[in-house]
Structure 1
Amino acid sequence: MLIRTEAPADILAVDQLLKSAFETEAEANLVMKLRENGNRTLSLVAANDNGEVVGYALFSPVTLDGQDDSWQGLAPLAVKEEYRRQGVAKLLVEEAFASLKELGYPACVVLGDPNYYGRFGFVASEKHNMRCRWEVPAGAFQVIALRDGEFSGRSGLIEYCPEFSEL
């Protein structure tokens, strides 16, 4: 399995992957809008030995109480059905965190299953007095510091790019 930065030639394959991985086309449409509007910080693909795109992760900017501190939001994360439960998502997230740290991005957020994303080190945002704008189950909105002390003295409302409001 090769984890690499998304290339322009991957756009169609990523679009097809997202449309097959989720119940609606909302995530695929979101990714297209984020690309078009320049709100994609990092996007990685997982390619199998034949070069087929079988996994995808995208990171885009988020703000804390309206302030841009270079924090990132993970959404979406998708793996082709026949490749699930084989560690593909783990490889994508590990590579992404390494890249984000190297590039100086200090924190990441995600909205999703706490049991799933907890495996990557995410914790409930409530533990740091942080929240998102949507009504979500306790623990579903999660954060991870990629730099020591990043959450010290911080709390508030975390907001994604405007494209997320159109979902």
Structure 2
Amino acid sequence: MLIRTEAPADILAIDRLLKSVFETDAEANLVMVLRENSRLTLSLVACSDEGEVIGHVLFTPVSIDGEELSWQGLAPLAVATSHQGKGIAKALVKEAFETLLDFGYPACVVLGDPNYYSKFGFTSASEFGLKCQWEVPEGAFQVQSLTEQTIPELLEGKTGTIEYSPEFLEL
């Protein structure tokens, strides 16, 4: 398996993957719009030995009450059904976190199953006075420091609402 940055030739393969993994086309459509509007910070693909795109992870900028702190939002993360349970998602997220840190991005948020995302080190954002811009179940909105600093150290006393790019409102 090879993990690398998305290339133009991957766009349709990513679209097919997202449409096959999620119940609706919303995630695939969101990724296309984010790409068209240059809102992608990092987009990685996992490829099989034959070159087939079997996994994808995307990161976009988020803000806290409108303030840019170089934080990123993970959405979406997808692995082809036939390749799930093989550590591909974990490898994608690990590589992404290392790359984001290399580029100076200190933290990441995610909206998803806390049991799943806790495997990647995410914890409930509400513990740090952070909330999602949408109504979500308790614990579903999570945060992870990518640096040696803790989330409270990164926040420096700030609390508030994490806001995603406007394209997410169209979901």
TM-score (norm 1): 0.98
1:79-121 residue CA offsets vs partner (Å, 9 max, x unmatched): 0001001100000000000000000001100000000000000
- Three-state SS of the structure 2 residue aligned to 1:46 is strand
- Three-state SS of the structure 2 residue aligned to 1:61 is strand
Answer with 146-155 or 63-72: which moved more.
Answer: 146-155
Please give the alpha-carbon distance, in whole angstroms, between the structure 2 residues aligned to 1:31 and 1:12. Answer: 11
Q: Which residue of 2 aligns with 1:156?
A: 160
Q: Unpaired segments of 5 or more residues in structure 2?
A: none
Read off the aligned partner of 2:158 and give its amino acid letter. Answer: R
Q: Unpaired segments of 5 or more residues in structure 1?
A: none
Q: Which residues of 2 match residues 18-167 of structure 1 at below 5 A?
A: 18-147=18-147, 148=149, 149-167=153-171
1:17-74 residue CA offsets vs partner (Å, 9 max, x unmatched): 0000000000000000000001000000000100000000000000001001111000
Q: Which residue of 1 aligns with 2:12?
A: 12
Shift of residue 8 of structure 1?
0.3
Please give the alpha-carbon distance, in whole angstroms, between the structure 1 residues aligned to 2:28 and 2:73. Answer: 16
Runs in 1 of length 4+ with deviation above 4 angstroms?
A: none
Backbone CA RMSD of aligned residues: 0.7
- Three-state SS of the structure 2 residue aligned to 1:9 is helix
Please give the alpha-carbon distance, in whole angstroms, between the structure 2 residues aligned to 1:139 and 1:20. Answer: 27
- Three-state SS of the structure 2 residue aligned to 1:57 is strand
TM-score (norm 2): 0.96
Please give the alpha-carbon distance, in whole angstroms, between the structure 1 residues aligned to 2:50 and 2:119. Answer: 29
- Three-state SS of the structure 1 residue aligned to 2:66 is coil
Read off the aligned partner of 1:159 and give its amino acid letter. Answer: E
Read off the aligned partner of 1:35 and give its amino acid letter. Answer: R
1:56–1:78 CA contact under 8 A, matched in 2: yes
Please give the alpha-carbon distance, in whole angstroms, between the structure 1 residues aligned to 2:43 and 2:131. Answer: 24
